[in-house]
Amino acid sequence: YIPMDPGRQWTPQQLVDIAFASDKQKAPGGPAVYNNTGYVLAGMVIEAVIGQPLGAYVRTAILDPLGLENTWSPATEAFPETSMVRGYYHRPPPAPNAPTDIASGGEMWRMDGVLPYSDELQDSSDSFPFGAAYGCGDMVSTPSDMVGFMRGLFCGKLLYQPFFAEMFEHRVPASFPGTRMRETGAGMFQSTYGDRAFDGHQGSIPGYVAVMLHDPESDLTIAMTSNVGSGNRLSFQASGLHPVVDQAIRIILD
């Protein structure tokens, strides 16, 4: 896991090196345990083929064609920072001798030296180095723009049909603590909300959580964000958005 140092400039190769130095690698062919390394590698491939920074390519190939006027790549382009809502982080003190794995409440983010342990919410807005997110999360957006992206993707405005189909092929069981993820394909999760199987994605950075989903059966597309989060997956602040999504879906479809 990368340290939360917003002043540090990361290269994609440094992020890959961290991943391969980890002892948490899994052998191919088994259940997937979600991580961000694949999206970093995908970004590196795009830059090598296109010959321009990833953020610039996303702007010209996705954001501008879909009219997503409230979405930016903070590491590569200027954006109205005053419009960005502040994020708040829950970092509860660990119990003595508590397990450190994420499923048992171990921290997902390296926050030492950034925020102390506290049962109170703390402002974490300026702690995340967007450059270190690169292809897996260097993006600031709104729920309405996220819905616009998902509808553009599922309506065929971004990918030729064979490439779009590949996102759903060869799915494998997947899980990540504090999420509804059940299966994953090429960048597309299947998650259960409101007693339905939705396709989409979800993620978080310190102080922020986002979910965007599409139901092929009803054609419902929904996105929600929260400006409260936690690296402790047992904390309500890490997973509390999901029941709200459940309720919204049931209200809309019932």
Whole-number Cα distances in Å, 72 to 40, 53, 124, 236:
18, 14, 19, 28
Q: Which residues lie closer than 8 Å to 110 by C-beta, 6 or more apart?
A: 1, 2, 3, 4
The pLDDT tens digits for 48-83 are 999 999 999 999 999 999 999 999 999 888 888 888
DSSP H or E stretch at residue 178: none
Q: What is the pLDDT of residue 228?
A: 95
Q: What is the structure's pLDDT at 110?
A: 84
pLDDT reported for residue 34: 72
The stretches in the chain having pLDDT less than 70 are 1, 23-26, 30-33
3-state secondary structure of 215: strand
Q: What is the pLDDT of residues 192-222, one digit of tens each?
A: 999 899 999 998 899 999 999 999 999 999 9
163: left (phi over 0), alpha (psi -120 to 50) or beta: alpha
Write the CA distances from 47 to 14, 100, 132, integer angstroms: 16, 36, 16
Q: What is the pTM of this model?
A: 0.91
What tokens appear for 39 in the block? 């999206």
Q: Angle, nearest 10°, between helix axes 12-20 and 37-50? A: 140
CB atoms within 10 A of CB 48: 8
Question: What are the residue boundaries of the structural domains of the chain, listed by start?
Answer: 12-79+88-94+108-253
Domain covering 12-79+88-94+108-253, topology:
Beta-lactamase (3.40.710)
